[in-house]
Structure formats: structure tokens, C-alpha cells
Structure 1
Amino acid sequence: MASRSPRSRGTCVLQRALSPRDGSVVSSARYRRTCEEPLYLIALDRYKPDPASKYHFSPVSAPPGFLYDATLSDGDCKIRVTLHPNLNPLVQNNALRCGSELNSVQFAVQFDEARLGGHRRTFQVLGLETGSPAFKRLRGLNLQSLPWFGRSDGDDETAVVPLLARRTCYLPLWDCEDYYGDAWESPARRAESPAHHSESDADEESTQFVTLQQVKASFIKKSKGKLGPLTVRVLKKSRLCHFGKEDRTNECPYQADLEVADGSGAASVILWNSLCLRWYRCLDPGMVLQLWDYRVKESYSRRLGEGRESQNQDQDQDQQHIEISLNSRNPAAIIRIVPERSVQRGWRLPSQTFSFLTRAALASCPDGTVCDFIGLVRFVGRPERTRKKGGGGEEFSVYRWLQLDDGTGDGPILLKLHSTSQPETHARLRPMFIVVCTNSQLASAGSNQGGPPSYQYLTSTRHSQVYGHGQHRGRSYTTLPLVQRFIAWVHTLSEATEMSTAAVGGYFSFPPLPTNIKHYLGERKGNPCLLSMEELRAEVGRLQYREHRRFTVQGSIIAARYCRPGERQGEQGRLSTSRAGLAECSTRHYSSASSLDSASLEPKCSPVGSPEVPLSPHYLRISTPKQSPPRRSPRKRPLGKCRRKTETPRKRFALASQFKSSPAHSRQADRSLQESSASCSLADFILEQICSEFQLSSDEEEQEMQVEDPALLSPPPGARPLAWSGRCWQGERLGGAGVFPETVPRRYNHARWELQTRAAGLQPACLSHTLPEPARELESFSPASSYQGCYSITILGLNERLAVDAVFLPTMPAGPHSVPHENSLASVLAHGGPSPSRPPPAPEDLIATAPALANKHFLFVLDISQQGAERLEVVLNRAYPYP
């Protein structure tokens, strides 16, 4: 895009607002300006403050964990500013995000007194108001080429670093475990940079290398003197660890560890501080490294055991109880990557080993089994955030669910994938591709008082690595027999069938909860952690963007309604600015609506069982459906090699809704059919392409399978909305009666996978990667075949002071929890779905049983997630009748 030519100094908004009136330098106290004309937020950056950061704020507004720098533009130039900590809640709730139009922005300036002349100025934003989306006004601009406000032509400071802390780089916007920003050198730049190679390379033949065994022996004997260089192979690589603290000055507080080995033993290699910036991205398991100028310490795990007599001092020194520290100074470590073709047999380096297990083999493995897994992705869930323990309530971890199938066992395996410090790989995860996850750990849930576990799934660990499409070629695991058998199985699949069931995003909960209150309380050891409605309101007020939490409350059901797929629903409410932590977040008033989602918050569904009621400004009225990934239909395969013994449908671990008789709009059905046909025609060779990385091909041509679109099987629309209202509620409400676009799983569209993945992901920190209206973009994709509508349930607390509007999405429980029951609404709410032994009931039949719910006491399990801009997703997971 061509950039628009800057306007003159007098017409540039930022110049008019921020330049001194008389051209002189004024004091910080008197340099307060308000820009009344619109400005646009084009980037947000986050970092940990350091001890000096507190001097930039008054004692009552000291940085409470993180600081945020923002890049603002008026369309002619741009400026980097620091947001006052009182504005942090706006960012944390995604009400202030890239693409927002800002009005009445209050600026304060600080001069750099430690710099000669004090010319460097830091602008703080003290208050603002968010307005309508800015994308139309910024369309056609090359934001990267816009000049910086106040930067002279001779100013060579081009590094984008935190403004109010001595940090080398920024943190990701939503977690602390990925790398982020230009400060992290790409592997290509690292490989091309000769400065990172040792000056001793020319003398390599005369260099005396040592072994890990010799290093351990020297450490135990406390020998003095410089140790020789090491040659080791990397076996495992950990994710990044950020250890920055507000009370410590450390410019690059990062750490990562590598598990390495040679022919004599194994040890941990720790990369510290700026070495992580230079080397982390280009070091992979399987590589051979040569290390100079390192330091040796006792391993961290060993230091934790100090004072315990659990280990003998005379144990074999082959045990791994040392760690090798690599620092950028004192001494400055030297790292050299040895190409595999240059590895000498005399070094006796161990080969990289794998422990791949199949889905069938995992069924008999105990909890905690660490293994590698390869599978075809069928479902990729949306990213969710949870608070980290020990993070002071400000640090979050990000995870998502993946459904993988390898053609063995009783069904697919679910992978709970946390960050592995591979942001580019995670951003490209999508269905219809082969994924390898190394060092994953087996977990189980739902055991019944000492019996076998009901559900098994994998979780990523600290040393997990994920490899997707384009990353398999040349890796040693591609030739393993188990992997080759898996690739042969993939060649037998019908692409049309796989594409029809592949899904992205949406609400997803796993493992399923028990089917009755007795088992539920048993799993929780009798402690349901009940909250009053007032406590629930307070806890919800503290939720941050995409934070997911589960709550248990008591009450009764006063209304229920069935909402068809695609049905526009009532207006989605939002939490008021008086919510905890937001009342004092600005010295100015601001709009509580997100600038990006204002257009998407159209009327969606009238309140369940009651007329539209004006909401108290203190509560968030929102929608949320419970959603799960799709249930696969029986798969038809062409005859040939690797054909499986049975063709019966496999259980989907509560991924499938059974309400096949629900109506759907013809417009949605037509769009769904068109997308399905287009995706299949564009993806005729997807499976063949992904298998090519494993150097295995099939000699048989795959048969084209025609799949009927589930939406076409539904009866035509026209019936009036089904609803039961046992009682009309005119009081305060929490939540709403609609379904968010983020809540509904979407049919995978291969032709538009990048747009679909970004729309379902977390809000990016840069405008160049931001969608104009993510919710609108999600609605352009058809719902997955598993989504057959939802039920809106209104819950009233026992004290009748607050009602909660939640969404219930029926699913089919699997395993021991899948027990026959009557298909009444009360029973379906307790079991999570209809009876597996009976035909699924029609929505009319379920609503007809709703009057039996009146005046009954229930225990409700609610899954609540903040979807940004104070849009609250409330999903009813279970409703247990109280005895």
C-alpha cells in the first residue's frame, strides 16, 4: 500500500496537540495537553516495570505488575506513548485494543533528565475515550512508513524498547512464555551472522575437547582452571522462562534449558539473559553444539533437595546433577552449531530418540506417561487463558484443545496444548494437517472411586515441541515404523469426509462432568466451592480477556428457550464501568463498548422467558453457548491397504450434539453447502501434500465421497421460537441470552484458513495483524456440523436478588458417565445431553417438559469467559437437581 503524504505541520493533529505553543521547552508540570481530534491505536506493547519505573508515577498509582506502551497515529505521523497504570484494566479486558479510535486523549510529558539537554520526551496518556472503529480511516495507509512524531532526521534511535523500564524487549500481550518483537533474531539471521561463530573454529583440529563425565568429575573435585570445550547433542529444549521482577533491574530476564548428552553422560545447559535473544529460536532438539567458556553449577533440582538425605554423596557421577550455564559475560560463552554432515563418528554422540505411542497403546498406560504423539488434526479450539499460580494474579498461561486421530484405539485423543514458545507454529495450527507433539504427558480424569479412568488426554509439558506442516521434512522421526504406518493410514482417508467434520474454535469443555450430583461431589471430595450470587458477580468483575473460570452456584430455573442455528438473538449486554477495577481506570469517562465490536453487537435474542428489561449499569448482559467440536459421521474408506477392521462410528468424547432434528435457516444451509464444496475442491490434494514430508506415497487413487450437508437434513424454518417462562424477572441480570460468534465452532474452510485462524485467536498486538471486526469475520464461516442450536436458561438465585442468563449446548457424554436416562429437560441438563439409549428428542419435546423445573432447587456449574470489550460468555455446563 502506498502511504499518504503527510500534511503540513499546522494541519497534523499530533503536531498541533503536542508541540509547545511558543516553541519553547516547558516544564513537565505545565505540559499537559488534550487532543480533541481522533487518534488511532495501531500497536500495544507490554513489559515488566523495574525499580526505576515507579519514579514516573505517583505513589498511589505505582505500576501494579505490567506497563503498556501504545503507538498512536493521526494518519500523518505516529507516536509511542505510555499508558497510565489506571488505564491498564482497559487493555486487560480488551476494551482498548488495536484499531480503536480514541477521542479526548490527555497527554502528559516527561523529559529525560539523564540525557544532555533533556531533549528526549516521554509522553504518558492519562485518560481517553474510545469511539468507533478506525479501520476505514486507516485503510490504504502504510503504517510502517509513517514518520515518528518529534524524531529529528539525525536521530538514529530506531530500536523499539520499553519507554519507562530498562528492558531489552517487550513481552507478548497475553502471556509471558513466547518470544515477541524484533529483538528476537530469526534463525536465518543467526545462521548468516559470522560474529556468532568461534574464533577457534580454524584451530578446531588442535582443540582438546572434554566430555561431560570429565566436567562432572572436575566439578566434584572442585578443580580450578578453565575447562575445555564440549561437544554435545541437544535432546530436549524447554519453553522460555521470563523471570523479570518489579524490584530487580535486569534488561533481559529470560532463561531456557537444553537437555544435552554425549557418549559419557547427560547434563542440562542453561541459556541466560541475552543469549536467549540470540540463540533460542535457532536451537532445536537433535542439533550438535560445541560450547566454549561455560560455567558449571549444581543442578537446580539437586539444589532444591539440599538438606535432604535422599541422595548418597558417593553416587555414580554419571547421574545428571550438574548444569552448564551459558552467559553473555563473565565469561562470554561461545556457541557453535555443528552441521550433521560434519559430525564425526569418534565423538560417540547419542542419537535423538523418540517414544511414539498410538492411541490404542495409551489406553493401557498409567497417568504421567511421557510420550511423543503424531496425529491428524480434526479440531483446533480457541485459545483460553488461566491465571498462573505464584504470578501475583497478573500472569496468565494460554492453552487450547486439539483433537488428533491416528486411526487406532476407540477414538481420537485430545491434546491440551499450552505454549511451547513456538508462536509461529501455534498460529498455523489448523485441521487437516499432521501434527507431532513431543514430550507430551498422559493425564486422566473421571475415575469412579478407585476404578479405571473415564477419560484420557495428553497435555504438553515444559519440554514439549510441536511440529506442523512444513516442519517435518528431514526430521529423524519421519522414518520410524509407527510414523510410516500412520502415514499409510492417512492415505486411506477420504478428504471430502474429513473436511465435512473438521472444525475450528468455539466453546469446548473437557473432560465431561459427572451425570449426577453425588458423583460430582465425590470428584470434588465433597467441596463444590459454592458461591453466592453476589460473590459470583464480584468474581466475574475480575475476569480478564479470554480468562476462563468455572463457578458453582445454587438457584432455580425460571425460563428456558430453544434458539435455532443462525437465529439472531437479543441485544448482548456488557459490564458497566463501575465494575471492580474499572471505575478508577481513567481520569476521563470512556465508552465501555469495544471499538472493534460495536458493529457486531447487534440485537441477538430477547431475554429468556421475559420481555426486554433495561439493565442496571453495574452488570454485564451477555450471551454464551456451550459448544463442542464436531461428531464425525461413519467414515467410508476406499478398499486397499491399512483398512481398519471395523467401520463403525467411534465415540467423540462429548464432541457431538445429538439434536439432528432442529431446524436451520435455508440461507445458512446454502452457505454451508457452498463452503463445503469449495473447500473440498480446493483441498483435493491436502492429505497428499502433508504426507509428502514423510516420503511415503499411496499407489491407489482416493475415491471422492459426496457428503450431505447436515443443515439440508433439517426441517425448514418457520415455526415460532420455543420458550417456556415460569416467571418473569424484572430485576438485575448477569449475562445475556445470545450466542457469541466466538462461542460457536466453525466449519473449517481451507481456502480461508488464515483469516479463520486469526479470527478465532487472541487479539493481536499490532494493527497489521488485526482483523477489522473479528466477530463479524467469524460469522462469515458456517457453524460446524455439531452445532444444532442452543438452549437459553435463566437462573434465579435462592435469595432472588440476581438472575443469570446462560446458554446450554447439549452434547453426548461418553464412557462410564454415559448412562441411560429419561429425555426430559431436567435430565438432559444434568447429564449434559440426551440419553444414548434413546432417539434424541426434538426441541419441542424438551421445552414441553420445562414446567416441571419450576420451584426446584438446582446446583449449577457455570463456565464463564470474558470475550473482550466486557462481553461475558456464560455457559451452563451442568444443572444437578438438589435432593
Structure 2
Amino acid sequence: MAAPDCVFHRTLTRSRPGPNKSSSPAVCREVLYVVDLQRYSRDQGSSVYFPQAVLNGDDLYDLTLTDGDCRLRVTLDPGLNRLVERNVLRPGSRLRNATFTPTMTAQLPACSGASADGDGYRLVSVEVTAGAPGEAEDEGLRGVHVDSLSWFGSSGPAGPLVPLRANRSVFLPLWNNVDYSGGVWREAPPTEEEEEEGEGARRPAVTVSQLRDSFLIGRRGVARGVVHHQLIVRIINKSHLMYYGKPEQNCECPYKAVLEVCDRTGSVCVVLWNSVCFGWYRRLKPDDIINLRHYRVKRSFLAEPDDIEISVNSRNPAAVISILPESSVSPEHLPPAASYSFWNSKELLGRPHDVVCDVIGLLTFSGRPERIRSDGRGAGLLEYHWLRLEDGSNNQPIMVKLFSTSQPKSHHKLHPLSVVVCTRLKLIRSSDQTSFFYLTNTTYTQVYCSGLGHHSEMSYRKLRPVRQFLQWLRSQDDGQVLSRALIGGFFIHPPPPVSLETYMRDRRGVPGFLRGAELQREVERLCYRERRTFCIQAAVTMVTYSRRGEEDRCLFWMDRASSLCSSSSPRLSKSSPLPSPAVSPLDQRPGKSRKRKQTEPPPTKRHPFVTLQPENNKTVILFEASMEFLENPEEEEEDGVDDGDTSSFVTAPLLPALPPISVETLPMRYDHAHKEEQAVAVEMGGAAWGRFETTINEYYTLRVRALSDGVSVDVVFLPHSSSSSSSSSAPLLSHSNTWTSILSHGAFSSHTPPPAPADLIGMATQLSNQRLVCVLEACHLGGATTELVLSRAFPLTH
């Protein structure tokens, strides 16, 4: 019980209704802190607890707050959900003027994890005062062990935490519906009872073929009842978790997962339902041999209509599952091993669209996680990030657009210089750009990464394509790989076309042009890390060249017609501190330094960016990564930072203010010595990564004015990025390095040196009166920061 002088006690005891009185809001004027933030889907009864709220989405959020003396669990009013969806309200946030109203919880007091007397509070308004992610720990919580604090009133759970406003028994991950979240998802080994059953189940009592035949001919024991016969099968494929919770459904744990299994007579799908997923999804993996009893056979909804599937539930009946060692199964009944179809990058060049394969490679680029709409418009957001894998068979790497696979620990370990295996990917090939392709998920995609001991457990390590890759890997030099290893930043693949005609054809003639005001509204609707592509017809009215950290001194050109005080010739200027009058969706934080590496102690000696290893061994990291196919590696790495050149700038007084580029837009040099810090910085909800070296420090900002309504938008243009080591494409086409050709290619020519910034700004008069079709890539980066990158701009001639 909390002390009577704590903030919650002083604030909330006044809001509880007395006899025949209604409750009243209570405002806390003191600072509160968000300890935890948990998401879940509402059910049929959820609307009862929000009588005046508009439930636009499926999500509800519970917060754990603290005043430093005790803790309080509350539910966020759905009208404030946008604060979470834009990553404004997050764990660690500081809150002021928080307004609470009393309400009842959805969970019954007898339910494990519910409040003791069934009541609670709702947060109906608040001011979020926290700074940017990654700021130093707040002084108000320094030294406080939050988990040891008592709970205020009845908000403390009687067991494991459960949602307060819906009868769900589990929380969802904050940013996707595919990963698991919370301690209920067990990875512990089977209990002693299960082990005993497994040891005795050496011979199956029924085979897959017998089950199928018996069901299809309508045998009573199989077609209508519970099958008790022991079935011994091997898992050959494992799906991601599938969440099917809907607002109109009251299922407590609406999950399912599918296993493709086989024995010597055939294969079948096993569906794990509801709470069975909690106990078994993380334990079971491809190659495992399992024994099943007490299951039902049903007509398949996944395969052919005349096929079957095996349904495994926690009740009616309670299924029995055991994991068996291969040695415990008689040889004549041992299921066949899982098969793999590994293709290297050279072989993939000639494969058809949608074919399914497995790949192994050395990870040299790990993109930042982003999200897209599952149906392109309305429904849930799907989380993904790009991987670049090299295998030595071809100059063109393997690009993988990897969506969540219900393996959050594996995805977190996808650092550059890891050996990565991705199974059951499908090939996506452009119909008219045969040289560009990428791989992406199927239902059964799984990821295995060095650093977690995966490879030594899997049978694929003995296959010839894997051994050939390992032979190539051991010939590579750490320093050379590190020099091209990147993490995070803006990335686009496949590259957009270089002509308007091809672009229109790819979009089936309907580019979906937006007015300037419509673009502004759509950008404001984006959720955190949501990525979308927009098109507008516009004219360029200003071009600015900047160096990161030196935005107060830059080169610029401004169209005479756009400003009476501008000049059509290049001018060097110092930025005004006034806010830009245009729509500015970029990071609003000022540049903190004119020099990089200000926060780091100066090294005694600068070195090129290579691994610091003894000179007689230049393949330590890669060698030990390959050795995980026998054992797990443990390796640390340090590297120096290249200072780069420092151009001097002349200053003059008239440049309109522009926000600096967001550091999240720029890919980082991979730092092996600080790989965990970089991974945390890049992940969803992560901190800013300003302390790490970026590969691009020069960028252009274009102010474009929509032809439809005159609304101006400032967009970043990165002509260096497409030709840098972050690119995954084949060589760029040669072009003349005029503004028209640079914008239509999205990059400088790969066959000639790029023009100097002053020369390029001087050539910007070419853009006067030029009507363009601008392709913009938008990604919300949290809070008030939205990245808007110009990927292509095509001359509009008709």
C-alpha cells in the first residue's frame, strides 16, 4: 500500500465517488513518469469502459506510472492513442498535468493479474514533456528501483499483468502483431511428465497416411472424435504467429500457429490454437521430432479441400505434446530430415518470380525497422527491415525485405558481419527490370543468426551450399568487410525507374498525384516508422547544399520568382533562426556542433576504418562467425573514425531557415565494438544515434511548390546515397550530371566524378520554370519529425 503522502494518494483519493455521487476528474500537477506501456486489442465489452470516447482503432493501451514513491496502472483514453502511435508517449516519458477519471476494469477480481477490487483509473488528458529518445536518465528517477515500489490502492495486480479493459490474457508487441510479448511465452524445456511420455513413445500408433485415409472415408474414430493414437512426426516448417483477435470477439488468447510436419508416409499441417501457443510456440523449431496425442483431425482450410489438418488445443481435448530425441525413435519409424533449397546470388539471377528458396550470406547492411499498411490503406501495420547478404558467388548481393517472423531475439541480433540463414523466402522480380530482384517472407520464413547458437543446432550446416559459402567466408578480410558494413538510414529498393513513362507503367498509369495540402494531411496521418510513397506535380523554388552539423553555413540557390530578396546565382549564407514558413516535416532540432565527434575523447592516433586486430590475423570476426556452425562465437571489435575533410564556407546574411536533416536518415558505419548500442539505436522506439559515424555528411534540400495549390514542401535529396556502398543495385546508367538527369536517376552518374557542390548550385538555374513529377518517400520518425526524401523527379512535358 502506498504512503498517504505520495502524489497518487494526494491526487486520486479526491476523485473517488462517494454514495450517490458521480466521479470527478483529478489533475496531477506534479511530474509523473511512464514506466511501462502495453498494447492489446479491445473486445466486445471494451466500449462500456469508454462511454464518451470514439473507438476508431482496435488498440487499447495500459500504462504503468510512477511518482518515484509508488506505482499506478491506468488505461489511456482512446482519444490519446495518437500520442503512442506517433511515439510521443513512450516508456521514460515525463508527464505533467495528467488528468485521471475513475473507472472499472474489464477483468474480474478473480482473474489473475486483475486489480483487487475491480476498479481503476483512466488517463484522459496529459502534457508529455520528455525530450528526444536517448536523452540522459531523468534526475527524478535516478537511483529508484521501480520494480520494488509498492502499488497505489487497488491498481496492483494479484498475479501476472493482464489487460485492464478487455478480457485478453496477453499483451501485443507495441509495433506489430506478429512477435510475442511477455513472460507467458515460455521457452523452458518440457516438464518431467512430458519427458517421461516422450521417452516411451518410440513407435507411432498411427501414421499421417492412415489418419488421412481414415478421415476421408469417414471412419468414426477419426472423423468425429478425439484421436488418442500417438503420432510421431518431424517439424519441417514453422509459421509465424497469427493473431486473430477482433473487437467483436471475446477470445482470451486469439493466437494460432501452423507447423508443417511429416513422417515416412506423408506430410500434414498441425495447427496450434490459443493458449497452446504460449507453452509451445517458442519451444518447437524446424528439425524437431515431436509426439502428439489427444488431437482432432479436421478438413484443411490451408491446403487442398480434400486434405486434412491436425488441430491441437489446450482443452476439448487437452493435447499432449512431447519433444523426442532422434535416438528415442526406432530407426524404421524415424521421420525424414527437413529438406532445404539453398540458392546463391548468382543462381537467383535466373530464377522465376515467386519461387521459394533458402539463402545463406554474410550480412553487410541491416536497415532500420519500418512499417507499411498490410492492405496499403487502412488496416494493421507490418514491420520489416532490409538486409543485404553477400555470398561471394556474384557481385550483386542478395537483398531481403524481411518482415517479422515471430523471432524478435533473432531480429535484434541481425548485426552486420553476422552469418545469416533465411529459409522459405520467395523471389520478387520486376517485370521490366530483370536485373533487380529481392527476397521476402512467406508464411514459413525463419531466420537464424550467428551470436545465438542457432547454426550449430540446425541440419543445414552439413549441406554443400553452406560449406561452399563458409569456405568463401574464411577467405574474407575483416577490414575490407567492415569498410562497407552499414546499419540504419534511409534506403529504397528496388530503385525507382529513371523515366516517367516507365514509372507510370509500373503504377499502371495512375501515379495518384496529390495536391500540396493533401500531401501535408497524409504526412500528418503517418504512424511511427510508417513508410509511404507520394507523388506531386511541383516546381523547385530553392536548392540548398549542407553538411551535417554545419547547417548554419551552406550554399543555396533560390528562384527569383519565388522571393523578391533572393538571387538566381549561388550564394553562401548563414541560416536564420526563424522557423521555415514551408511545410517542414524534417527534424526540428538545431545542429549541435560544427564538428563531428565532439562528445567523444580525441584518440591518440587516427586510423582508417578497419578492425583493430593483430596484423597476422585479418579474418577473426568472419572466421569465428563461421565457427558457430560448430560452436558459438564471442567477439569484440573496435575501430577508428575517419574525420573526413572540412570544407570552409563564406557567409552572407539572407538564407531562409531550413531544418537540418534527421540523423536517422543517414546510414551509420557499422561499429563492431558498439554493435549492441547501434542495434538499440536503430530498433523501433530506439534512441538517436548522433554519436556514431555516418557514411553521408553532405546533402541537398529542395523546396518544391505544388503546381495544384502552391503549398511548399522541403524535401531531402541524397544524390550520393544511390552510388554509395549502401546501394544494392547493379551499376547506374551513365548520364550527363545535369539537374534533370540527376533528379530522374536519383543519383550522380556512376561513370564520371560528381560535380562540386558550388557548381551544382550554380547550375540550379536549370530548374527555373521546370514542371516536375516528384516522387517522395515519407517515413515518420517519432514525435514531430517526419522524413521526406525526394527519390525521383521527372520532367513533365505534357
- Asked if these proteins are the same fold (TM beyond 0.5), I'd say yes
Per the TM alignment, residue 745 of structure 1 is displaced from its structure 2 partner at its CA by 0.7
Alignment pair present for 1:694 and 2:629 = yes
Aligned to 2:144: 141
Aligned to 2:562: none
Q: Which moved more, 1:341-350 or 1:104-113?
A: 104-113
Q: What are the Cα deviations for residues 277-305 of structure 1, in whole angstroms up to 9, with x where unaligned? A: 110000000000111111111111357x6
Cα 1:293/1:743, change in 2 over 3 Å? same
Aligned to 1:399: 384
Per the TM alignment, residue 25 of structure 1 is displaced from its structure 2 partner at its CA by 5.6
Per the TM alignment, residue 801 of structure 1 is displaced from its structure 2 partner at its CA by 3.0
Aligned to 2:358: 372
Alignment pair present for 1:878 and 2:787 = no
Alignment pair present for 1:842 and 2:756 = yes
1:231–1:291 Cα contact (<8 Å) kept: yes
Aligned to 2:436: 455
* TM alignment of 1:734-773, pairs within 5 A: 737-763=659-685
Following the alignment from structure 1 to structure 2, what is the Cα–Cα distance between the partners of residues 213 and 251? Answer: 34
Per the TM alignment, residue 675 of structure 1 is displaced from its structure 2 partner at its CA by 8.4
Following the alignment from structure 2 to structure 1, what is the Cα–Cα distance between the partners of residues 576 and 715? Answer: 16
Find the partner of 1:125 among 123, 126, 129: 123
Per the TM alignment, residue 865 of structure 1 is displaced from its structure 2 partner at its CA by 0.8
Letter in 2 for 1:686: I
Following the alignment from structure 2 to structure 1, what is the Cα–Cα distance between the partners of residues 741 and 640? Answer: 31
Cα 1:666/1:12, change in 2 over 3 Å? closer
1:569–1:739 Cα contact (<8 Å) kept: no
Per the TM alignment, residue 522 of structure 1 is displaced from its structure 2 partner at its CA by 2.2
Cα 1:349/1:855, change in 2 over 3 Å? same
Following the alignment from structure 2 to structure 1, what is the Cα–Cα distance between the partners of residues 735 and 21? Answer: 71
Per the TM alignment, residue 223 of structure 1 is displaced from its structure 2 partner at its CA by 0.9
Letter in 2 for 1:479: K
Aligned to 1:170: 171
Q: What are the Cα deviations for residues 547-605 of structure 1, in whole angstroms up to 9, with x where unaligned? A: 0000000110011011124434699xxxxxxxxxxxxxxxxxxxxxxxxxxxxxxxxxx
Gaps of 5+ in 1: 1-5, 306-312, 314-320, 572-605, 626-663, 698-705, 730-735, 764-770
Give the SS at the match of 2:298: strand
Per the TM alignment, residue 489 of structure 1 is displaced from its structure 2 partner at its CA by 1.1
Following the alignment from structure 2 to structure 1, what is the Cα–Cα distance between the partners of residues 537 and 101? Answer: 49
Alignment pair present for 1:806 and 2:715 = yes
Q: What are the Cα deviations for residues 318-377 of structure 1, in whole angstroms up to 9, with x where unaligned? A: xxx211000111111111110123232110411111111111111111111211100001
Following the alignment from structure 1 to structure 2, what is the Cα–Cα distance between the partners of residues 724 and 410? Answer: 47
Aligned to 1:429: 414
1:77–1:148 Cα contact (<8 Å) kept: yes
Aligned to 1:215: 211
Alignment pair present for 1:484 and 2:467 = yes
Alignment pair present for 1:717 and 2:647 = yes
Q: What are the Cα deviations for residues 254-285 of structure 1, in whole angstroms up to 9, with x where unaligned? A: 01000001011111000000000110000000
* TM alignment of 1:649-664, pairs within 5 A: none
Find the partner of 2:317 among 331, 345, 348: 331
Q: What are the Cα deviations for residues 394-429 of structure 1, in whole angstroms up to 9, with x where unaligned? A: 511000001100011132111111000000111111
Percent of aligned pairs with the same amino acid: 35
Cα 1:458/1:410, change in 2 over 3 Å? same
Alignment pair present for 1:789 and 2:692 = no
* TM alignment of 1:517-528, pairs within 5 A: 517-528=500-511
1:28–1:110 Cα contact (<8 Å) kept: no
Aligned to 1:274: 275
Find the partner of 1:780 among 691, 699, 705: 691
1:559–1:724 Cα contact (<8 Å) kept: no
Letter in 1 for 2:331: R
Q: What are the Cα deviations for residues 180-203 of structure 1, in whole angstroms up to 9, with x where unaligned? A: 012211x2x2x15335557x5576
Letter in 1 for 2:438: Y
Following the alignment from structure 1 to structure 2, what is the Cα–Cα distance between the partners of residues 126 and 467? Answer: 44
Aligned to 2:292: 291
Give the SS at the match of 1:473: helix
Cα 1:615/1:817, change in 2 over 3 Å? same
Per the TM alignment, residue 621 of structure 1 is displaced from its structure 2 partner at its CA by 4.1
Alignment pair present for 1:150 and 2:153 = yes
Cα 1:30/1:523, change in 2 over 3 Å? closer
Letter in 1 for 2:352: P
Q: What are the Cα deviations for residues 526-560 of structure 1, in whole angstroms up to 9, with x where unaligned? A: 22111111211121121111000000001100110
Letter in 2 for 1:146: L
Per the TM alignment, residue 204 of structure 1 is displaced from its structure 2 partner at its CA by 3.9
Find the partner of 1:357 among 329, 343, 358: 343
Give the SS at the match of 1:17: helix
Alignment pair present for 1:12 and 2:6 = yes
Cα 1:762/1:609, change in 2 over 3 Å? same
Give the SS at the match of 1:282: coil
2:68–2:144 Cα contact (<8 Å) kept: yes
Aligned to 1:512: 495
Letter in 1 for 2:690: E
Aligned to 1:82: 75
Give the SS at the match of 2:752: coil
Following the alignment from structure 2 to structure 1, what is the Cα–Cα distance between the partners of residues 651 and 256? Answer: 57
Per the TM alignment, residue 505 of structure 1 is displaced from its structure 2 partner at its CA by 0.4
Following the alignment from structure 1 to structure 2, what is the Cα–Cα distance between the partners of residues 127 and 150? Answer: 21
Following the alignment from structure 1 to structure 2, what is the Cα–Cα distance between the partners of residues 208 and 708? Answer: 60
Aligned to 2:620: 685
* TM alignment of 1:1-150, pairs within 5 A: 9-20=3-14, 29-58=22-51, 60-62=53-55, 64-111=57-104, 119-133=117-131, 135-150=138-153
Gaps of 5+ in 2: 132-136, 555-570, 633-637
- The TM-score, its normalising length taken from structure 1, stands at 0.79
Letter in 2 for 1:690: A
2:540–2:703 Cα contact (<8 Å) kept: yes
Following the alignment from structure 1 to structure 2, what is the Cα–Cα distance between the partners of residues 124 and 493? Answer: 58
1:497–1:707 Cα contact (<8 Å) kept: no
Per the TM alignment, residue 90 of structure 1 is displaced from its structure 2 partner at its CA by 0.8
Q: What are the Cα deviations for residues 689-719 of structure 1, in whole angstroms up to 9, with x where unaligned? A: 211122499xxxxxxxx9997654x4x3212
Following the alignment from structure 2 to structure 1, what is the Cα–Cα distance between the partners of residues 370 and 116? Answer: 44
Q: Which moved more, 1:59-68 or 1:462-471?
A: 59-68
Give the SS at the match of 2:443: coil
Letter in 2 for 1:746: M
Per the TM alignment, residue 92 of structure 1 is displaced from its structure 2 partner at its CA by 0.5
Following the alignment from structure 1 to structure 2, what is the Cα–Cα distance between the partners of residues 282 and 389? Answer: 32
Give the SS at the match of 2:260: strand
Per the TM alignment, residue 14 of structure 1 is displaced from its structure 2 partner at its CA by 1.4
Structure with a larger share of its residues in strand: 2
Cα 1:31/1:184, change in 2 over 3 Å? farther
Cα 1:325/1:106, change in 2 over 3 Å? same
Per the TM alignment, residue 132 of structure 1 is displaced from its structure 2 partner at its CA by 3.8
Aligned to 2:134: none
Per the TM alignment, residue 118 of structure 1 is displaced from its structure 2 partner at its CA by 8.2
- The TM-score, its normalising length taken from structure 2, stands at 0.87
Q: Which moved more, 1:679-688 or 1:141-150?
A: 679-688
Letter in 1 for 2:295: Y
Cα 1:442/1:146, change in 2 over 3 Å? same
2:539–2:769 Cα contact (<8 Å) kept: yes
Cα 1:608/1:194, change in 2 over 3 Å? farther
Per the TM alignment, residue 520 of structure 1 is displaced from its structure 2 partner at its CA by 1.5
Letter in 2 for 1:274: S
Aligned to 1:651: none
Cα 1:115/1:504, change in 2 over 3 Å? closer
Cα 1:76/1:454, change in 2 over 3 Å? same
Give the SS at the match of 1:61: coil
